[in-house]
Structures are given as C-alpha cells and as structure tokens.
Structure 1
C-alpha cells in the first residue's frame, strides 16, 4: 500500500465547519482545526472524546490511579502498576472496566483491588463510560483511530470524515547524514529564537537525538517545549544514582557515579573510572562515601535536604512527589528505593512548561503536529510501536491505527524534512518498519530510497567543516612505539581518538607495571629479596591493585602474584651473572614502587632501557638486556608461539592481530650491534600458573624466543644453522642429510635460490624443489629415501623461515614504519582524514578501544 495523502487541516476544517461538535482522535489535530475557526462558536467545537468527557485537558489517569491504589492497599508497587496498566488498557479496548475480570490469567488480588478502587474514581475513562453527547450535529474525523471506549460516547447519528484522500503522498527525499551531531547542526542552521514558534521536531524521546537536540537548543538560546520530564532533571537523576550507590556494595566503580559527580561539580580524573569507589582514597569522592555510609539511617526527606545543602539545588518538586507517595518521612532502605526508581521510570510526573518555542514531539505519542516546518529525525525502528500482546487487543486493528498515525505524522507541516542516518556506531540503521508496508521500493537502508547525502567534506571545499586559520604547525611525529603502531595499523581513526580522548587506568596495566618494577628491582638487588621480602612485595601489590578488584578476588590475586614473582626470581637466578660492561650506564626509567619501598636505587644499564631511534622512527623500552645479543621482555599475558610472533610482525599485509614489538626492538638493537645474530625472548611469567599449583612447573614453558640473522633467508639456507634444522626434524629428512653431509648440502644450495612463497604446494612445484631433490638423490645412497627426505627438508626450511627474522623482514618493517609515519603526519597536518581502515583493510574491532567514536561506510567517502 502506498502512503496515502493526508487531508490538509484547511480542507478538514472546510468539511466540518458547519457542525456543532467535531471529534478527532488526536488533541493537536483538534487544536489545529480550532485555530482555523473564522466565525464565533459557542462552546466546544473540535476536541477529542476524552477532553469532551473530562471537560478539561486529559490527565495521566494511570499515575493518578496508581497513587490512589498505593495509598489504599498494601500490594507491592510493581503488581499495582501492572494491574492498573492492564485494567486501563482493557477498558480502552473493550469499553468496560469490569472486562478485565473475564480474563482469568490476568486476575489476581491486586487486579481486583485496582478494579474496585478505580470504579470509584472520577477518572477520564469513567467519565467517558458515562458521558452522553448532547450536540445536534456531530462530525467525527478519523473514526478508525478511535478506541472502543472513545466510540462509546458517539451518538446514534453522526457524520464521518476520513483523514486521508485517495491520492498517493510523494514523500520528500531522505536527508542522509553521517552522524547524529550533523543532524542537530542541520536543524540549528535553520532554527533560531525568532523562528522557533514555527518549527517542530519529531523524534523518539528515548533516543540519543532527544538529549542532543535539547542540549543544542539550550546552548543556542532557542526556546523549546515538550522535552525532558521530571525524571530527566539532572539533579533528580543524580540524587537517585547516589542513593542506589549506597546499596550496590563495595564493588561500585567510580564510573558508576560519574554522572552524579559531574552534576555536583566534582572533578575526578577519568583515570580512576575503573577503580572501586569505596577503595579509592581521593578527596573528591570523600563526601559521596560518607553519604553512602549513613544513608540507611536517614529518611528520604533528610537525604533530600543533605543533597540540597551539598549542591545548592532546590528539589521542591521531588519533595512534593515523595510526599504524594508517602515516602518523605520513611527511612530509606533498598526495597523502598527500588520502588521509587520503578515509579519514576513507569510514570511521567507532570511538570510546568512554557508552551513556546520549538515543539519537541515524541514519534510514538504524536499523531499530528501543527507547525509550518517539521523535522522528522531518525525515522528508524525506534519509531515502530510495539503492539500490546494482550488478549483484549485486536492486533490487526491496532496495527492499522499505528500505520495511519505514522502516515499522518509523516505529512505534518507545510514543509517536511526527513533527517536520518545510514549507520550509527558503525552499524546499519534500520528504517522504521512501517516503511516496509508503505513503500514499493526494495531497500535495506535509507540511502537505497529517494535520498540526498550530506557528507562533510574534509578539505573545506563546498559544504562541510568550516576552517578557521590558526597560527602554528601540527606537531610532527618522528618516532612511534609498538603500541601506537599496532593501534594505527589496525585502525588509524582509533589511534586518533586514543590521542584525543582520555581513558581510565586499566587493572592489567597496573599489575603489569608492578611485575616489571619487581623484575627491575630484583636484577639490581637480588640480595634484598628473600621469602619475607616476597611476602611484603605481594602485600604491596595487593594494596596498589585493591581499587581495581572485588574483595572476594583477593585470595586468587595473592596466589597469582606470589607465583608470578617466584617464577621471575627463578628465571633471573638461572640467568646470572649478567654482563653490563657492553652498555653505557642508565639513569633509570621513571619511578619504581619497590625501589621506593625498600629504599634502594635502581640504576642498572641492562634493565628498563628506553630508546628513541630517530633514524628508524621507532621508540620503546627494553625490559632486560639478558646478554650482549639477547633482549627480553616480561609479559603477564598469554604465551604466543614463535610462528605467532613472526606472523604478527608481518607488514605485507599486516595481520589481524599486529604486534611489532620484537621486530622493532631488534631493528633498533641491530643498529647497535650490526652484523650479529640476535635473539628476543618473551617471558610469560604467569603461563605456568596452573602447573605450579599441580607441581609440574617448568620455567622453559614460559619462554618464546625468536632469532634474527643479519642476512637474507636465501643466504641462510646454506648455513650450518639451517643444516642443523634439517638434522633435528623429520626421520627421512634426518637420515637423508646425515648421509649427504654439510659440505655437499652447502655446495648444492649455493647455486639455488629458495622460492619466496610460503605455500606448501607451490614450494613442491617449484624449480628449486626439482633441482634440489635431483642433486641430493645423486649424492646419497640407496639406503635413504632421499626424495621424501628432500620434501621434508623443504617443509622444515620453510617452517624455520616462518619462525625466524631475517634481514629482509626487518628491512621491510623499517620501510613500513617510515611509510606509516609519513601518512600519520599528513593526517595530523589536516591534509587527509584519519581513515577507519588501516593498511590491512577492515579493522579488527575486538582490538578497537573507541568503538563508539568510529563510523563506517559513507563517513569515509
């Protein structure tokens, strides 16, 4: 079915102008018709059935009924709310308050009490039930939109008028924006304080658009109404948040109360967000901790007064509401607090509003908006009603009401503007499901329909971000660390937000730093660390990490720390004595918790060695120079194999989990020790945690060591090291090359070139494989299977290549880093936008830290 064209209000008025009374399904539509009156009219002209019966503006009878039942019964609040909602809904659709009692599954003590009490109340529904229309001539506009209860007041004779014509409505183009902020900017470009009374914004009141539009209008001094309600008041939300914090226990994080802190003007550094509030000893949170500790001894009214005293806010409306609920003098406990929170979420507490300025209309509550200019914002699946799943509701009829209401809403205003997004938070936006019933086109997103794309151009040409000249140049990046490079390679825009947005300290960073500090201290002062000192170190680590963990986790963390420390001691004892004569003294790197605790300096030339290699564009911190040609890094995470280390350092293209640490450090270190084979070891000191517990621990299982050779792999194939790989492999390979001998092997491969491919089938089909096999077969005895041995040898050499760094690998990384630094500086200088996709293509979103800040698709075009 196409979108039916709605009759203009002027047309409707012309059709009903001669009637004594006009009934409409929607109050704004009735008001719009009344505004067209051009002759005096005695009494009510256009109105809704509810307003006619009540004789005034409709009130939220569900809230009034709830308050009455709460005051007169002892049933729990959720049961009362559930029963009130069902009773009113059934009454609306069946026309009688007692009709709910015919549905046994929905009848209980609370429902019976609600029916009994509500039958006595002078509610709008009861007035509708009893009302009789006395007008002589009655017109009903949009009768299909009226419920059974609303139709009950209609006289025997009345004239019907449709809301729609038989014509098709040609909807305007969807204006597709990159972000919700761009949509708000577009509205602000059109609306100001002078034009506000001519504009309406229709949106989902629970969406992100609602708060953004309200904030933007407030900042621009554009008046508006119909926006935030009682529960949206920042102080109301803040007070409720603080009260609930008192019952969450000791594991409440600072991030849980940050909205309240912000509202109170308390500035707590974002680095504390992941720390437990009650274990964090900072002055800024002292009042909240004290507030939570005494809350259960206070009444709601006393709690309110204390909050007002602290913030200077006046919460008279909140105090009045507590009085209505009978809570003002009640002592606070968790049950009462939960009931209060439920009530505030379930019911709209009335607030006084100035009805001037831009009208903010809720997409699921409004059927018509009478403003010359109407912005329809979002138009996504949040605009779709959820039909009541109750036996007294005719779902097909209700769906037709929703469809008609949606069509009418789409055509509200003389000028309509549909402002939408194709993606939000990196995910496709689903258009409102009603479009599937109304449009003939096949579509998946708004851009598949009649649409106009509004893309901010980054270079300042045409529409887009306005550029203002500023003095000064962008700071040039000359060196990158492994963490920066891996973030940039995975997703350049995530790298950008890493620099732009502060984040909280992480537990694993804190623990990792503590283990590193201990290792540095132990290398320098092994004589200080005995069993008693280990106990002290564990206690100190627990104290430092306490804000990050639940109290119940302490035994496990204590055991983990002790095993990690003992494993570090075991490994470092096995490596002694360390040589440091080949390095210049170091001035130390930062502070060391244990050096400060034991009052001993750490100034070793072989630990925590910071480097910035400007020629390579690389920087980092070497944990330990184990010997002149061997670097070591302490890791608290899971162990990776040699193959994983080499794969993660690949640059053509980068892998899904890039990690260039070993390769970058070897790049730097080979400039200090050129032409020497080098080694890099990852020491995963927690890898054997379970083995220690079971008594089957081997420190060798914690180590992953990769080698670097200062020559190409092709050159390496002919070396004694490569030949030794063949003698430590498959059985036929060992037999063949023991029979052949190194001298003959070296002579054969000297004139051959190993293929660049690493694919097994391509290697077997290569000319190298053929020539190599023929030459080996000629020089070995019949007692060995030389052909099978050569096939195994090629696989063994290829496997060795995939577990080892060679000259070409580090050369490629150096070129890659130089290219990324050039790119990075172009982005920073504003020549290019930071893209979402890195050199390896689509990001691995599991490794993206700022997922909510990154848009995809059209945002990069």
Structure 2
C-alpha cells in the first residue's frame, strides 16, 4: 500500500533551519520545529499565523465571541451561537468580517448585530486581519504547507517568501492494518506496549467521539499511566452529573431510575436494579430521597444554591464549573427550564478550556490534528468517523476543503517513527468501513480493512507472561448439575443459550408487565379461594390497590388508562372463575402454597386451596413449574395478560422438528408432567388471556370464549387416533361442508380399508398429506365408493386439513414421548456447557436469536469468536512485536 510520503520532522527542520521566520499551519508542528532549534534566535521561529498575530496561545474564539455577544444582545443563545459560527467561518474564508454580507441569505439583522460586536472585539480573527509581517531586507521567511492555510491566514504573508512542501515526490509503503476482534482487544494491545517509563514517547490518535476514547482513558488511569489531551470539561464525572441533576428538574414525572443511575452513583446512592424501570418520583427507597426532595423544590433555587447542594451532598467542590457559571453570568439566576436549556446548550456546543498537565501519553483527536511529535504513534479505528464534515456554506470551496483535509490526513498517518494502525474489520455483524480518504490515497477497490494489506490478531493469552495469571484450586470442584428446567428457562435456552446463561448471573429490573401480571395472578388465586369475598365495591378497591402498587411504572397521564385496563381484566377473571370454578379437588394432595399472595395479605385471608399456584418439580422428567389453576383432574389453566395465540401457533412455537424463532414450551411441558399424574386420560391445557377482549368490552361486544386457547393431549398414538370411530364421525358431521357430504356417503369400514394398506404420514401439512401414498389412496377410495365428483375431491382435501388439525392443535403419545427425550438432551447439553466443556453459544435452536426475546442483548457478541479464530493464521503477529524504546 503506497501513498505520498510526508517529510519527517527532522528533515523538515533541516529545510527551514536557516530561515528567520517559519509559518506553519498548526501548533503541534510549530512546537516540534521549535524543540529542534539548535541556535540562539530572537523572537519566534516556527509559529502559526494566529499565534504570530495575537502573541498568545490560540484559544477557541467562537466561545469567547459568544460570551461577549450574549452580554450585549437580546438574541437567543442558539441564534447567537449559529450566527457567531457563520461570521467567524466566513471571515476565515473571505478574509473580512463583513464578507458574509455578500451572501443574501445570511444578510440578516441578527448577522449585522453580531458582526458589529465581533468586529470591535480583539479576537484572533480581528488581530489576524489587521496584522502584517514586518520583513527586514535581510530577513527570510518560509511557509510550510501553504495549501493548508486559510485565506485569512494567508493574508498576513509578505510578497516574498519561500514555500516548503510537507510532502516528497517519493511514494512510501504504508504499514499494514492490524485487525482485532473488538475495541477492547485493541486497547489491550496498546496497553501491552505502554508503561509509565515510556509514556512520553507515545501518542494515541483516535476519534474523540468514538468508543475508543473512554476505553483508552479508563485503561490508562487503571494502569496508573499519565496522559493528556483526552477528557474535556464535560468529560469530568461531577460536571456531567451536575448537569444531569439540573435536567432532572425539568424532565417531568416520567423520569426513570435507569436514566439517572450515573447521577445517583455520583451522589453516593445505591439503588437496586429492580427499580430501574420505575419513575423516579414514585420509588419508595431511602437512597433516592435526597434527589426526590431536590427536584421537588428546584424551581425555588438559583444555580449557585443548586451547586452548593450538590457539593454538600457529594463532599466535592466544582470550582471550575462555578467559574464557568460566573462567565455566563447565571450563577445567581433562578433555575428555570429556559435557563437550564440554555446552559445545557452552551456546554454541548463549546469546549470549555481546562488546565492540563502536558505529560505522559499524548491523546490526539483524529479530526483536529495533522501531526503528532512522538516516536511511536498508535492509530485506533481509522474508520469512516475519521472523515471530516466539510462546512455546507456558500463561502466554502468544498473541493479545496477536501484537499486540505486529505493532506492533513496523510501527514497525520505518517507522524512519528513507528506507526501502528489498529482496526476492527467488522462490528455488530457488519463490515467496518475504512476512512473515505483511503479511496483517493490507495487508488484500489476495497470495502473493509481485510481487503487491504492486513494482519489478524487473536485474543492475547492472559495466562502467560504479564497477563492475568490463574491460580489452580487446591481440589477439583464439580459444578452443580441442573436436574430440572422450567418452561421459561427452556424458552430462553432454546432462543439463545448464552442469553439464558447471563440471565442466571445478572439481575434484571422489575417490569410493569411483571408487576401487573403478578397482581392479576394473586387476584385470581384469591378469587378461587374466596369467591364470596369479591363484590363490585371490593373490585373497585382492588383496582385502586393495583394502581398504587404499579404507579411507579407509569406516567400520570396513563393512570386512567391503566385503571380501565385493570378493571376489565379483574372483571373478566371473575367471570371466567364464576363459570369455570374448580370441580374436584379430592385427587390432589394439600399444598403449602407458592410464596406470598398480595391480596390474601391485604384482605387478611388465607389461600390454601390445592388447585391454585401448584408448584411441581419432577427430577425423573427433568421438569419444574407452577400451575396457575387445576380446574379439574384433566384440565389445567394458565392466566395470561399478553396477546392470545391460537392452538396451532402454540404447537408451532413448541415444535422440536422445526424450531421456532419464538420458542414457547409451556403447554407441552405442563401436559408432559400432568400425564404422569393422570395417566391414560385425555388432558387439556387452557391459556386464559383475560385482557384479550379489552376493546370488545369497551364496545360492549365481548365473548369469554375469545380469551381462551386450549391445547389437547390425546393418550393414544396419532395413527391409531385417526382410525377411531369418533374421528370418522367428525369427518361426517363436524368438518367442512364437502368433507361432511363426502364421508357421510361412505361407511366407517370403507374408511378403515385405506389404513390397512397405507400408513398415515406424521405431518402437520395438509398438502403433504394429500401428496402422500395415504392421501392418494384415500382420494381414490372415496371416488370409487362415492363417485368421481368435484365435491368428493374437494371433500378429501378438507378431510386432510381436518386430520392435520388434530396434530396442529394438540399432542399425542409420541409427541410427548419425543418431548421427554428432548428434555433429556437439552439438560445433558446444558450441563456440558456448565462444566466448561464448551462455551454457551449465542445461536439458539432456530439459528440467530430472536432479539425481541433476549434479555441481555448488550452481553451477546453477534459473530462467532471460534469462527474468527479458525480464520486467523499462525503467521499473525502481535501488535507488541517491538515495544517502543524508552529513549530515542
């Protein structure tokens, strides 16, 4: 990979050492040349135009101009910032402050007001516009990288000077890209090469807004390695936290605990994960008392009083923030929503200068620097975020701007003696696009870094050398095996074993649908035990209790909607239990109940019926679970607050042969367990979706049947079942019209003759059954017996659909036998992962997880590390092949 060679700093110095004054485009280059000056020199040697004109270090004049203008106008802060930016930018390109008036769209009263103010200030642009280089007859001037100077900067140049190109005509070989699997792996590689002793020899160039910035900063801090050039004013933890504290006062009642977790941490408050989804104002926890009290009285405070309160709470002072509030003249201003919005806008728009200790590793922003003066330079990322956004203004020549940026990019990539380009080839399963400047520099087609000269790096072995050494245990520890699994765990495991694994390790916050579902379930159990205790008045009381228990999850504007929802759900539960009260409980052993029941405690009653909330754990089957209601010896009921599925959808999502991307094994798992309690019985498992008809209830057209989905278990093999007289009678009477007409004209014995010569296929697809030898034989037999009529052929098609319907809407002996074997296989596989024989995979039974049902999405890598490792060659070398020397 070749591109135009940038002159080394030492060569550049040799070319300009004899000049009296050297004009350069950026401060790092000027500082580097000045450090190499080996002779006495009066006045500046290498210097930027702005520093030469102002005789001071360069500052962000847009911020200083903004601070001046807000004191002298009544314009809004956003309008001032926009206009100041336009005026200074146009001045840079046009060379005069009033050059912006040449563009009609920008010639506005606000612009004229700002120009009048800025033109009278001693900004660097004003000083630069008025400055002329006083050249003596014997003084010589060199200009390095003249193309990178703006028109305003060129305006100070004398008529005679020598232009020094930063590049040679000789192409240079670019180092290969070093491809790593993640940003963390890249930072690890850098840290392997950096020590406190060699920190001053190293620079790290990155996009300041990327994930690399916080990773590098925290890694250097953890290692105790000094650095500078990184975090800004708003990167300081307390500054961010105080601004978030201010924002909390205007965010309203919908502010969730999860959104203020960083602030609570800074305040020294530890709040349980279970409260994350709740509204801050409604959380009952002493840890948030201070924040709740502060937000309730914030409109009475000034910024100074709020800052004092924060400092008193944390025990830390924010002097720099106080000084900035004074600069803005808002310290004693009341904290109105407008004032808070203005302050937040200012801090998001401008970089507030901070004092830095210029020692240690240099962190350079890829979009701000064109040169770094360090022997060893690491470049992190090098992706499309390194591309500059050229200003979209009429005074900007975008082609010229692009050339200026690409020259700076070329120079930056060749800074130092040793350069290391550390990149990712893919992220989130998609290729990482290299910086767009490479298209012009390399003149070759590519889409990702691996298309160019590159070296892949594996994850470093932390068990050797200076990594994290492992200490063997004194005795072997056998991991505890999982003996039984619940339907919810099986669903999670089938979707993504790794998500299931993290779900066992990580706490998750309470969700409103969990809280509501638990209350509905407790109410249903209470009604079963005490049906006489629930009348209209008590129902209203229950609604209000549920509102109070779930209020923390909902906005105030949603409370009435939830109240209606709860009332309808409770009424539907009462209606169902009134019509389907449990019939026989004598076959059940007494149950100690399952946990606590909220309404039993609230109404001071007991819930000890053996038919409700019945826990089971069967190690011989490997199953555990909790049955909401045993309605009869052969009927189980589960209360659901979610959307209703049909019976065919239920069996489809529990399919073993064709895994679903929405796995749900509840019905088949419970029926498998219950058939061992009620052997040789026809069983039914009913999902009662008590909120399914909420819209119909409101419109007055609800039916309880629309809430029910029942899956049936037939204690017989499917091929035996379809030969039964009851199935034949159903084909004659309960199927579609042509089917009834056809089979009512034949006899049961004729129907059975087909089974004598052909086996019915085990399929849920009617077309597949029709195309099978059995299906063809049945059609042929019906035509022979009834006649070659169109309705006969169509009736057979309807019969196939009816027969397949038994398979799609229920289970037979072989189905549950297969499910028992499936459970044994899944537990064996799960325990193999638990023993560490292999990693928990991300992909589930249906392939890539359905991320709608993943609970720990941020913990799942979307590509296979093992696949990447297989692709990595043994010739890949480490980024630490040669550690930088401490001294040069």
TM-score tier after normalising by the smaller chain length: over 0.9
Once the two structures are superposed, the pairs formed by residues 434-833 of structure 1 within 5 Å of their partners are 434-456=437-459, 467-470=470-473, 472-727=477-732, 728-780=734-786, 785-833=791-839
Once the two structures are superposed, the pairs formed by residues 10-159 of structure 1 within 5 Å of their partners are 10-135=10-135, 136-159=139-162
Partner SS for 2:639? strand
Task: Report the alpha carbon displacement of residue 36 of structure 1 after superposing the two structures with TM.
Answer: 2.3
Task: Report the alpha carbon displacement of residue 428 of structure 1 after superposing the two structures with TM.
Answer: 3.7
Q: Label 1:170 to 1:21 Cα distance change in 2 as closer, same or farther (>3 A).
A: same
Does structure 2 conserve the Cα–Cα contact (< 8 Å) formed by 1:456 and 1:464?
no
Is 744-753 or 225-234 further displaced after alignment?
A: 744-753
Does structure 1 conserve the Cα–Cα contact (< 8 Å) formed by 2:233 and 2:351?
yes
Task: Report the alpha carbon displacement of residue 783 of structure 1 after superposing the two structures with TM.
Answer: 8.6
Does structure 2 conserve the Cα–Cα contact (< 8 Å) formed by 1:735 and 1:784?
no
Instruction: Please give the alpha-carbon distance, in whole angstroms, between the structure 2 residues aligned to 1:510 and 1:531.
Output: 23
Q: Label 1:171 to 1:855 Cα distance change in 2 as closer, same or farther (>3 A).
A: farther
Q: Which residue of 2 aligns with 1:408?
A: 411
Is 615-624 or 60-69 further displaced after alignment?
A: 615-624
Instruction: Please give the alpha-carbon distance, in whole angstroms, between the structure 1 residues aligned to 2:564 and 2:725.
Output: 45
Residue 286 (structure 2) pairs with residue 283 (structure 1): yes
Instruction: Please give the alpha-carbon distance, in whole angstroms, between the structure 2 residues aligned to 1:462 and 1:442.
Output: 40
Q: Label 1:3 to 1:604 Cα distance change in 2 as closer, same or farther (>3 A).
A: farther
Partner SS for 2:778? helix
Instruction: Please give the alpha-carbon distance, in whole angstroms, between the structure 2 residues aligned to 1:118 and 1:42.
Output: 33
Does structure 2 conserve the Cα–Cα contact (< 8 Å) formed by 1:827 and 1:833?
yes
Instruction: Please give the alpha-carbon distance, in whole angstroms, between the structure 2 residues aligned to 1:448 and 1:716.
Output: 61
Q: Label 1:721 to 1:31 Cα distance change in 2 as closer, same or farther (>3 A).
A: farther
Is 60-69 or 802-811 further displaced after alignment?
A: 802-811
TM-score, scaled to structure 2: 0.94
Structure 2 unaligned residues grouped into runs of 5+: 868-888
Match of 2:215 among 212, 220, 232: 212
Task: Report the alpha carbon displacement of residue 812 of structure 1 after superposing the two structures with TM.
Answer: 2.6
Once the two structures are superposed, the pairs formed by residues 304-315 of structure 1 within 5 Å of their partners are 304-315=307-318
Is 585-594 or 714-723 further displaced after alignment?
A: 714-723
Instruction: Please give the alpha-carbon distance, in whole angstroms, between the structure 2 residues aligned to 1:860 and 1:850.
Output: 21
Instruction: Please give the alpha-carbon distance, in whole angstroms, between the structure 1 residues aligned to 2:818 and 2:458.
Output: 37
Does structure 1 conserve the Cα–Cα contact (< 8 Å) formed by 2:582 and 2:631?
no
Q: Label 1:714 to 1:451 Cα distance change in 2 as closer, same or farther (>3 A).
A: farther
Does structure 1 conserve the Cα–Cα contact (< 8 Å) formed by 2:2 and 2:174?
no
Task: Report the alpha carbon displacement of residue 625 of structure 1 after superposing the two structures with TM.
Answer: 1.0
Q: Which residue of 1 aligns with 2:425?
A: 422
Runs of 4+ in 1 over 6 A off after TM superposition: 457-466, 781-784
Instruction: Please give the alpha-carbon distance, in whole angstroms, between the structure 1 residues aligned to 2:823 and 2:128.
Output: 76
Q: Which residue of 2 aligns with 1:164?
A: 167
What is the count of residue pairs matched by the alignment?
Answer: 861
Instruction: Please give the alpha-carbon distance, in whole angstroms, between the structure 2 residues aligned to 1:669 and 1:457.
Output: 52
Residue 395 (structure 2) pairs with residue 392 (structure 1): yes
Does structure 1 conserve the Cα–Cα contact (< 8 Å) formed by 2:92 and 2:150?
yes
Does structure 2 conserve the Cα–Cα contact (< 8 Å) formed by 1:423 and 1:855?
no
Task: Report the alpha carbon displacement of residue 577 of structure 1 after superposing the two structures with TM.
Answer: 4.5
Task: Report the alpha carbon displacement of residue 676 of structure 1 after superposing the two structures with TM.
Answer: 2.1
Residue 245 (structure 2) pairs with residue 245 (structure 1): no
Does structure 2 conserve the Cα–Cα contact (< 8 Å) formed by 1:459 and 1:831?
no
Instruction: Please give the alpha-carbon distance, in whole angstroms, between the structure 2 residues aligned to 1:658 and 1:363.
Output: 46
* Deviations 1:720-771, CA, capped at 9 Å, x for gaps: 3432442311222112222223344234325421123444444333211222
Task: Report the alpha carbon displacement of residue 854 of structure 1 after superposing the two structures with TM.
Answer: 2.1
Alignment root-mean-square deviation, CA: 2.1
Q: Label 1:441 to 1:855 Cα distance change in 2 as closer, same or farther (>3 A).
A: farther
Does structure 2 conserve the Cα–Cα contact (< 8 Å) formed by 1:2 and 1:440?
no
Partner SS for 2:845? coil
* Deviations 1:643-669, CA, capped at 9 Å, x for gaps: 100100012231121111111111111
Is 71-80 or 526-535 further displaced after alignment?
A: 71-80
Instruction: Please give the alpha-carbon distance, in whole angstroms, between the structure 1 residues aligned to 2:227 and 2:281.
Output: 41
Structure 1 unaligned residues grouped into runs of 5+: none
Task: Report the alpha carbon displacement of residue 175 of structure 1 after superposing the two structures with TM.
Answer: 2.0
* Deviations 1:393-439, CA, capped at 9 Å, x for gaps: 11110011111111111222211112222333454433222223323
Instruction: Please give the alpha-carbon distance, in whole angstroms, between the structure 2 residues aligned to 1:808 and 1:408.
Output: 72
* Deviations 1:682-736, CA, capped at 9 Å, x for gaps: 1001111111111111101100001112333222221234324423112221122
Once the two structures are superposed, the pairs formed by residues 229-240 of structure 1 within 5 Å of their partners are 229-240=232-243
Partner SS for 1:160? strand
Q: Which residue of 2 aligns with 1:363?
A: 366
Does structure 2 conserve the Cα–Cα contact (< 8 Å) formed by 1:653 and 1:839?
no
Is 382-391 or 493-502 further displaced after alignment?
A: 493-502
Instruction: Please give the alpha-carbon distance, in whole angstroms, between the structure 2 residues aligned to 1:784 and 1:365.
Output: 80
Once the two structures are superposed, the pairs formed by residues 250-399 of structure 1 within 5 Å of their partners are 250-399=253-402
Partner SS for 1:250? coil
Task: Report the alpha carbon displacement of residue 569 of structure 1 after superposing the two structures with TM.
Answer: 0.8
Residue 853 (structure 2) pairs with residue 847 (structure 1): yes
Task: Report the alpha carbon displacement of residue 338 of structure 1 after superposing the two structures with TM.
Answer: 0.7
Partner SS for 1:374? strand
Task: Report the alpha carbon displacement of residue 503 of structure 1 after superposing the two structures with TM.
Answer: 2.0
* Deviations 1:72-108, CA, capped at 9 Å, x for gaps: 2222111111111111100111111111122221233
Instruction: Please give the alpha-carbon distance, in whole angstroms, between the structure 2 residues aligned to 1:141 and 1:459.
Output: 47
Instruction: Please give the alpha-carbon distance, in whole angstroms, between the structure 2 residues aligned to 1:644 and 1:494.
Output: 24
Is 289-298 or 668-677 further displaced after alignment?
A: 668-677
Instruction: Please give the alpha-carbon distance, in whole angstroms, between the structure 1 residues aligned to 2:39 and 2:141.
Output: 18
Is 29-38 or 300-309 further displaced after alignment?
A: 29-38
Task: Report the alpha carbon displacement of residue 303 of structure 1 after superposing the two structures with TM.
Answer: 1.2
Partner SS for 2:192? helix
Q: Label 1:499 to 1:422 Cα distance change in 2 as closer, same or farther (>3 A).
A: farther
Instruction: Please give the alpha-carbon distance, in whole angstroms, between the structure 2 residues aligned to 1:441 and 1:499.
Output: 49
Is 540-549 or 707-716 further displaced after alignment?
A: 707-716
Q: Which residue of 2 aligns with 1:194?
A: 197
Task: Report the alpha carbon displacement of residue 640 of structure 1 after superposing the two structures with TM.
Answer: 0.4
Does structure 2 conserve the Cα–Cα contact (< 8 Å) formed by 1:4 and 1:165?
yes
Partner SS for 1:681? strand
